[in-house]
């Protein structure tokens, strides 16, 4: 899979691409990233990419032309083009699964007051990562890319993915590791019992209790 990220701040991706599971997925050639600087596609002086909003109002708006040229520089007939915006549909695990089956994602990061609305003629989907406003689309694009890459075959163990939150059963079960007692808080006895049937039953029950407490909406 290939993921192209269009941004005004390429330097923000250095840590993301050079650490942990994402780094290993790149090294194993399971995913390829291109970080494209939208500023390189400005035709104006000083590589200007934003201007004041028509109709007035605060802040600056990213101009559509450099973004469209940046899209054209990476687009193929296999590309699926996503604009990260708080006005988009909320990103979910089910979307991550759908994206993980695609060959090429193009993720567009807005900044300032966002991108000229005519960008909608050049994209496939508007996606939000939640009901809050961030300063730019860089973190949202990393959120989407991270959720997708870990689902690509060979990136992490299949069993880890199957047992996780947002499968058909709701949230994941609570997990514990050593030490068996920390400041008086004990690991549930059943997990140390070695009885796999009892452990599975405890996990199922605990996952259900957690889902009822924290995310009852998932059980509807
Ligand atoms: C300050 S925001 C623009 C907010 C816009 N004026 C609004 O109120 O919807 C700048 C950029 O950050 C990104 N962004 C901010 N919050 C986001 C979210 N919750 N999901 C996805 N992208 C987001 C988008 O790319 C957006 O164009």
Q: What pLDDT digit, counting tens, does each position of 86-100 carry?
A: 999 999 999 999 999
As a whole number of angstroms, the distance between CA 210 and CA 192 comes to: 21
Judge contact between 204 and 196, C-beta under 8 A.
Answer: no
CA distances from 22 to 5, 13, 31, 49, 156 (A): 15, 11, 9, 30, 10
Fold of the domain built from segment(s) 2-149 = Alpha/beta knot (3.40.1280)
- 114, 128, 141, best to mutate for ligand 1 pocket (most atoms within 8 Å of CB): 114
Q: What 3 state SS string does 49-93 have?
A: CEECCCCCCCCCEECHHHHHHHHHHHCCCCEEEEEEEEEEEECCH
Answer whether 113 contacts ligand 1 (Cβ < 6 A): yes
pTM greater than the 0.75 cutoff: yes
Q: Is the peptide bond before 179 cis (omega within 30 degrees of 0)?
A: yes
As a whole number of angstroms, the distance between CA 42 and CA 97 comes to: 34
Per-residue model confidence (pLDDT) at position 168: 75
CATH value of 165-219 in 1.10.10.60, 3.40.50.9100, 1.10.1270.20, 3.40.190.10: 1.10.1270.20
CB atoms within 10 A of CB 81: 19
Per-residue model confidence (pLDDT) at position 36: 98
Ligand 1 atom with the smallest distance to the CA of 132 is 19
Parse the chain into domains and list their residue ranges. Answer: 2-149, 165-219
As a whole number of angstroms, the distance between CA 186 and CA 33 comes to: 43
Per-residue model confidence (pLDDT) at position 2: 98
48 CA from centroid of ligand 1 (Å): 20
110-143: pLDDT as tens digits: 999 999 999 999 999 999 999 999 999 999 999 9
As a whole number of angstroms, the distance between CA 99 and CA 175 comes to: 28
Handedness of CA 38, 39, 45, 51 (dihedral sign): positive
- 7, 8, 91, 137, best to mutate for ligand 1 pocket (most atoms within 8 Å of CB): 137
């Amino acid at each position: 899979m290939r993921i192209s990220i269009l941004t005004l701040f390429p330097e923000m991706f250095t840590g993301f691409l050079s650490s942990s599971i994402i780094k290993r997925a790149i090294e194993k050639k399971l995913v390829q990233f291109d970080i494209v600087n939208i500023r390189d596609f400005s035709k104006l002086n000083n590589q200007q990419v934003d201007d004041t909003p028509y109709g007035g109002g605060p802040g600056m708006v990213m101009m559509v032309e450099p973004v469209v040229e940046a899209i054209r520089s990476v687009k193929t007939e296999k590309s699926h083009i996503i604009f990260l915006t708080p006005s988009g549909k909320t990103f979910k695990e089910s979307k991550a699964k759908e994206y993980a089956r695609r060959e090429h994602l193009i993720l567009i990061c807005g900044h300032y007051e966002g991108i000229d609305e005519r960008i909608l003629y050049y994209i496939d989907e508007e996606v939000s990562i939640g009901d809050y406003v961030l300063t730019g689309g860089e973190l949202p694009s990393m959120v989407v890319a991270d959720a997708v890459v870990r689902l690509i075959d060979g990136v992490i163990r299949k069993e880890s993915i199957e047992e996780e939150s947002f499968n058909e059963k709701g949230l994941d079960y609570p997990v514990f590791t050593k030490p068996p007692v920390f400041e008086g808080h004990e690991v549930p006895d059943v997990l140390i019992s070695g009885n796999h049937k009892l452990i599975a039953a405890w996990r199922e029950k605990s996952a259900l209790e957690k889902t009822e407490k924290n995310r009852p909406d998932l059980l509807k």
